[in-house]
Amino acid sequence: MEQCDFFRIILSTYEICDIRSFPIDCIEVIKRLKIPLFKYSELSAKKERECYRVSNDAFKLKGKIYYNDAFPYIYRQRFTLMHEVGHILLGHVGDTKENDDEADAFASHFLAPRIMIHKYGYRDAEQLHDAFGLSYQASNRALMSYKEWFRNISYSVTRKPTEPELQLEHIFFPETNIIPLMEGIVQPARGCYTEEDEDDHSELNERSDFMRLISRWHGDRGFGLAENKWFYGNDL
C-alpha cells in the first residue's frame, strides 16, 4: 500500500472515532468502527477454550475480534487489538508475513503517530510508554521508527510529512503556526524550505549542515534541537 493511502486510513479512523487525546481507548475505537467484539469470558466454556488455543491475548476471525479480558499485559493487548483492526481496515486477505508486518505498522502508527511524537517533543521510550500506552518493546520500536521517519522527511523533496499526517496534526494542534521548542520556548515557525525559496546548491548545503549536526551531537537533546531546526525552520 502507498504510504499516503496508509496514513489516510489512519486519519479517517481518527475522524470517525473522534479521537482527541492519548492514550487511545482501543475498545471504544473498535466499537465506533462497528467491528464485532467479543470477550473470552462472555463465550461458552467450549468456545472460550478454543479461543485460548488460538491466542491467550486476542485474534481476528471472519471480521470479528475476540480478546481475553483477563489478559494481564494491557499495553501488549492494546497493540494486538489495533493489529487486528489494521488487518480489517487495510483489507488483508490471507495470513502472510507481509500482511502481518503491515498490520504491525498500522498498530504502531495508529497508537503513536510519528507526527505527534514530534509535536509533543518525546525523546525516550518511557515517554512513549506513558503517553501512548505502548509496551516498552513497542515504545522502543516506535522511537526508532520515529527517527527514521524524520530522517526520511529531511531527505525528501518537500521535507514535509504526508498530507494526511499534517491533517492529523491539525486535529490536536489547530494553531499550526506556533511551534513549541525543547525548553518550552514558543516561536513562530518559518515556512519549510522549498526549491522556490533557494537554489539547489544552497538547499543541499543546508541539508548537509543539518545532517552533520545530528551526527555530531550525541544524545536525545541534540537530536531534538537539530530536528526542530530542520523540520520547522527554528533557529538553534
Picking from 176, 208, 227, the residue at the C-terminal end of a domain is 176
Which run of H or of E encompasses 180?
strand 178-180
For 6-57, how does the pLDDT look when each residue is reduced to its tens digit (9 = 90+)? 999 999 999 999 999 999 999 999 999 999 999 999 999 999 999 999 999 9
Regarding whether 26 and 110 lie in a shared domain, the answer is: yes
Question: Are 30 and 111 within 8 A, CB to CB?
Answer: no
Q: How far apart are CA 180 and CA 185, in angstroms?
A: 6
For 92-111, how does the pLDDT look when each residue is reduced to its tens digit (9 = 90+)? 998 899 999 999 999 999 99
Task: Walk across the sheet containing 37-39 and list its strands.
Answer: 37-39, 64-67, 58-61
Regarding whether 101 and 76 lie in a shared domain, the answer is: yes
Domain with 21, as residue range(s), is: 3-176
Regarding whether 65 and 155 lie in a shared domain, the answer is: yes
Q: pTM score, two decimals?
A: 0.76
Question: Are 123 and 223 within 8 A, CB to CB?
Answer: yes
Number of domains in the chain: 2
Regarding whether 35 and 122 lie in a shared domain, the answer is: yes
Phi, psi of 74 (to 5 degrees): -60, -45
